[in-house]
Structure 1
Amino acid sequence: MLSQKIKSLQFDDKISIGMEIIPIDRDYVAKSANLTTAHRASFYCVLWFQEGNPTHQVDFTPIKVQPESLLFVGKDSVQFFDQGKNFKAKVLLFTDAFFCRNDDDVKYLNRTPLFQTFGSSQHCTLSVSEELKTLWTFMEQEDKTPHDRFKPILLRNYLESFLLQAERAIGDGISSPSTNEIYKEIFFDFNKLVEEHFKEQKPVSYYSEQLYVSPKVLSRATRQLTGKTPKRILDERMLLEAKRLLMYDISAGKEIGYSLGFTEPTNFIKFFRKHTGKTPLAFRAYYRQTMGM
């Protein structure tokens, strides 16, 4: 049983447009081989839960959802649907390639609090407003129309409006009127560097040097926006990747430790136990049993 790994879902190549809306419920999940166990998607998901109150797991965090609520899930997150409760929902899927026309669009997806849980322990959820319902309906109707040269443009514009309206509903997410704009830029650039180098670069000093700021300034930036130190953010990103690999990859624990930049298996075990109270293999066994794998 423990040799099974989490499924990695790619966007359907037959859907060349890069966006799709799918109605789902408990029966749909039960009949889908890809969804009955934990899975990792290489695209963005917006789930509109319309009926029921299931507990949806995202990156090992249980999220109790309410009827008429939206849940935003970033790409590469590990998800697990609640099969013990009836629910009715719709899922909006889209890829980077569909949304991003230029570098500004890439920057937006990397920075929006809708999909950005980095530095935070919360996944974005909000109630569905009439404005969001209207935009969703526009996307759904356009998604069903025959393909022509206008369809991808309209869908992409509706999607952008939907995301902006959702972001307006939750506010900036990680800032307040008193937040220093320079600190915000430092924080976002720090996030980007961590995402690119957290496996091989663990000292905070590396990131402060790359950002041309002192460790104290970097710490002020992360504390003001998240209440966390740079070291804690680095550790949390490393821990999340370790959890994902333990579930997604069938490699031995020590091999996963090596892939994350730990030169000794014992160091990886100590790090993981310090933050979770479990050894890596005990964590893998517990969650795979919990998820029925």
Structure 2
Amino acid sequence: MKNIPEISFWKNKVLQIKEFQFFNLEELITDDLKPKDHSPYLPHRLNFYAILIITDGEVNHIVDFKVHSLKKDDVMVLSKGQTHAFDEFSVYKGYLVVFSEAFMHKYMAQSTIAQINHLYNYFLVQEKINNPDRNQILLRVLQNELKSNSSSLPNIIASILSVYLLKLNEENTRLAAISVDNKYLDYFNNFRLLVEKNFSKTRDAKVYASDIAISYKHLNEVCKGVVNTTAKAFIDNYVILEAKRLLVSTSLSVKEIAFILGFDEPTNFLKYFKKHIKLTPVEFRKTLA
């Protein structure tokens, strides 16, 4: 059975720092984007975190089937688990910084990781941030430090990234006008992780509320406070997103996708999908073919 491609770090590259890479986009696209297991120009799921920085021109970049127009000095963070695709008609000029969850936990402070997780929560994040000064500082310092062979290099790079991402998180919070109690965010993140793990087993919000030891009413309050939607609507939105990912990125039949998503009958999936998208799964697949 063919599944959505999940991309880890480049297997054949000798890495200067384990679980971390820093790419010039022009070089990456011309030299490295020739994998045998997936097309970089079709949606593929990331198994790491990324920072996409555009230094000149304008590009279209596709993240979870939405086209984002990025221009000079724009930065976009891509979360582990998201799907993205390069636009083959765009001329990418800039940099891509990628690092794994293991890198974060080994070299970054836990308090920093907690804030970064807010930034990489793609249900909260702004689509893009224009960040010219801090982008230039980050790129210059990374380029300089990566020339060294210091035994402390991973710690130094992690410190540089920590400062940049914490500042980016502050700017993102300001732009999104997010003012959410940290306790709400903790509950929401636990709920989100459970949904991502178990959505094919249950779409019942009451089950998730029980799993994180709060009432169904409280879970709805949390979701409304954080993402301005009910817990049920959040679950439905996530299931639809996964359905889109499978429809576009695989050749699986609608029946196979229905079973993967946890529907007992394909007709139930068809009705569910059409209710939310106003298109059948086949019609949606054709729109992006």
Going from structure 1 to structure 2, the CA distance change for 1:181 and 1:5 (only over 3 Å counts) comes to closer
CA drift at 1:159? 1.4
Match of 1:86 in 2: 91
Match of 1:77 in 2: 82
Contact 1:18–1:95 (Cα < 8 Å) also in 2 = yes
CA drift at 1:143? 2.5
Going from structure 1 to structure 2, the CA distance change for 1:123 and 1:61 (only over 3 Å counts) comes to farther
Match of 2:72 in 1: 67
Q: Tell me the distance in 2 between the aligned counterparts of 1:164 and 1:101.
A: 17
CA drift at 1:7? 4.4
Match of 1:97 in 2: 102
Match of 1:213 in 2: 214
Q: Tell me the distance in 2 between the aligned counterparts of 1:106 and 1:285.
A: 45
TM-score when normalising by structure 2: 0.85
Match of 1:133 in 2: 136
The counterpart of 1:10, out of the listed 8, 11, 18, is: 8
Match of 1:48 in 2: 53
Going from structure 1 to structure 2, the CA distance change for 1:264 and 1:103 (only over 3 Å counts) comes to farther
Match of 1:247 in 2: 248
Contact 1:45–1:91 (Cα < 8 Å) also in 2 = yes
Going from structure 1 to structure 2, the CA distance change for 1:31 and 1:191 (only over 3 Å counts) comes to closer
Contact 2:259–2:265 (Cα < 8 Å) also in 1 = yes
SS of 1:22's equivalent?
Answer: strand
Q: Tell me the distance in 2 between the aligned counterparts of 1:103 and 1:149.
A: 16
Going from structure 1 to structure 2, the CA distance change for 1:27 and 1:165 (only over 3 Å counts) comes to closer
Q: Tell me the distance in 2 between the aligned counterparts of 1:111 and 1:253.
A: 36
Q: Indicate whether 1:113 and 2:118 are aligned.
A: yes
Q: Tell me the distance in 2 between the aligned counterparts of 1:260 and 1:106.
A: 35
Contact 1:184–1:225 (Cα < 8 Å) also in 2 = yes
Across the aligned residues of Structure 1 and Structure 2, the Cα RMSD in angstroms comes to: 2.9
CA drift at 1:134? 1.4
Q: Which moved more, 1:131-140 or 1:198-207?
A: 131-140
AA partner of residue 203 (structure 2):
K
Match of 2:169 in 1: 167
Q: Tell me the distance in 2 between the aligned counterparts of 1:237 and 1:24.
A: 30
Q: Tell me the distance in 2 between the aligned counterparts of 1:212 and 1:5.
A: 34
SS of 1:76's equivalent?
Answer: coil
CA drift at 1:144? 3.4
Contact 2:43–2:83 (Cα < 8 Å) also in 1 = yes
The counterpart of 2:160, out of the listed 158, 161, 170, is: 158
CA drift at 1:17? 1.5
C-alpha distance after superposition, 1:90-116 (max 9, x if no partner): 111111111112897499369633221
Going from structure 1 to structure 2, the CA distance change for 1:93 and 1:54 (only over 3 Å counts) comes to same
Q: Which moved more, 1:220-229 or 1:5-14?
A: 5-14
Contact 1:30–1:36 (Cα < 8 Å) also in 2 = no
Going from structure 1 to structure 2, the CA distance change for 1:186 and 1:266 (only over 3 Å counts) comes to same
Q: Tell me the distance in 2 between the aligned counterparts of 1:48 and 1:227.
A: 29
CA drift at 1:131? 3.3
Ranges in structure 2 where 5+ consecutive residues have no aligned partner: none
CA drift at 1:74? 0.8
SS of 2:119's equivalent?
Answer: coil
Q: Indicate whether 1:285 and 2:286 are aligned.
A: yes
Going from structure 1 to structure 2, the CA distance change for 1:28 and 1:189 (only over 3 Å counts) comes to closer
Contact 2:243–2:261 (Cα < 8 Å) also in 1 = yes
C-alpha distance after superposition, 1:137-163 (max 9, x if no partner): 2223223333x4211111112111221
Q: Which moved more, 1:262-271 or 1:18-27?
A: 18-27
Ranges in structure 1 where 5+ consecutive residues have no aligned partner: none
Percent identical across equivalent pairs?
25
Q: Tell me the distance in 2 between the aligned counterparts of 1:265 and 1:106.
A: 44
C-alpha distance after superposition, 1:157-184 (max 9, x if no partner): 21112211211222275731xx444433
Going from structure 1 to structure 2, the CA distance change for 1:187 and 1:107 (only over 3 Å counts) comes to farther
Q: Tell me the distance in 1 between the aligned counterparts of 2:70 and 2:89.
A: 14
Q: Tell me the distance in 1 between the aligned counterparts of 2:97 and 2:128.
A: 14
